[in-house]
Amino acid sequence: MHARIRAAGLILVGLLAATPASAQVVQSIQFGGGFFSPRGFDSRTDGDVLRRDFDGEPLNGSPGLSDALVFDMSDFRTGHLFGEWSVGVGRHVEFGAGVGFAQRAVPSVYLDVVDQSGRDIDQTLKLRVVPLTAVVRFLPFGGPGDVQPYVGGGVGAVRYRYSESGRFVDSDTLDIFSDRFTATGTAPAGVLLGGVKLPIGGDIYSLNLEGRYLWAVGDTGGLDKGFLGDKIDLSGGTFNVAFQIRF
């Protein structure tokens, strides 16, 4: 993952260095929203806390019982908001710096264990991400005012907050207790993207449809912070719809 981020950074620097100083510069802003879908269980990084919670491990002294939780990664699919400031250099290259926001709270229960009253032992798993990205887009055809397909990539940092709150089972004593565990941090990221700009107001306004994939992995602090996994995989794909204004 870090190799992808370094490669994207080198490409971005190379394109900046190769941009002619005499090229026409056009600034713009875009804002919009979209849909975020995280990586599935099968492709998540080793040590990922959500994969560990889902798979579970046998509870001490209780054959046939595990601490697995009932939820699915598709439960973390959610909408998101974002904004970006962009600089177009010539007709075929655009640099952008943006920020996004997505948050999702997912209910879960233990698969094999209930309390003394026969009720589910429930928790809430909550993930918030704020990606900061620097990207470059290559638009090989047309110019402002035309339909322009594009591809690109970049680097960034993802500010994240992950928490587990509710009731839990002690793996040694099997006691049930209430608590909240929280991990926050910032993880480096790599981005690949592709999309199309659709003119809706000449060369000033456009509607942008864009798909992105972002790679990032954060730390939870592991058992010292109360988590059964020491990583949180923040990777996933987004589909964005944005309104762009050039000035």
pLDDT tens for 198-217 read: 999 877 899 999 999 999 99
| Of the candidates 241, 232, 50, 52, the residue with the CA atom closest to the CA atom of residue 158 | 232
**pLDDT for the residue numbered 172:** 85
- How far, CA to CA in Å, does 227 sit from each of 48, 223, 232? 10, 5, 10
Query: Total domain count for the chain?
Result: 1
Q: Which residue has the higher pLDDT, 175 or 4?
A: 175
Q: Region 79-101: what's the mean pLDDT?
A: 94
Residue 10, domain CATH: 2.40.160.20
Q: Which two tokens stand for residue 88?
A: 């177009």
pLDDT tops 80 at residue 149: yes
Confidence of residue 155 (pLDDT cuts 50, 70, 90): very high
Strand partners, 242: 32, 208
Tell me the one-letter amino acid at 153: G
Provide mean pLDDT across the span 191-197.
97
DSSP classification of residue 66: B
Q: Give the helix/strand (H/E) hosting 169.
A: strand 148-169
Kindly tell me the burial class for residue 14, based on how many C-beta atoms sit within 10 Å of its own C-beta (0-12, 13-18, 19 or more). exposed
- Portion of the chain with pLDDT greater than 90, in percent: 77
Per-residue pLDDT, averaged over 224-237, amounts to: 96
Q: Under the phi-then-psi rule, with left for phi > 0, alpha for psi from -120 to 50, and beta for the rest, what region is 132?
A: beta
Distance CA 176, CA 169 (A): 5
Q: How confident is the model at residue 164 (pLDDT cuts 50, 70, 90)?
A: very high
Write down the pLDDT at residue 8: 47
Place of tokens 């904004």: 83
- Rounded distance, CA 53 to CA 48, Å? 9
Q: Which residue has the higher pLDDT, 143 or 23?
A: 143
Write out pLDDT tens, residues 17-74: 444 544 578 899 999 999 999 999 999 999 999 999 999 999 886 778 899 999 999 9
Cα(89)–Cα(17) distance, integer angstroms: 12
Q: How confident is the model at residue 1 (pLDDT cuts 50, 70, 90)?
A: low
Q: Compute the mean pLDDT over every residue in the chain, rounded to the nearest whole number.
A: 90
Give the range of the structural domain holding residue 89, as residue numbers without chain letter.
Answer: 2-246
pLDDT of residue 6: 54
Q: Give mean pLDDT, residues 178-200.
A: 97
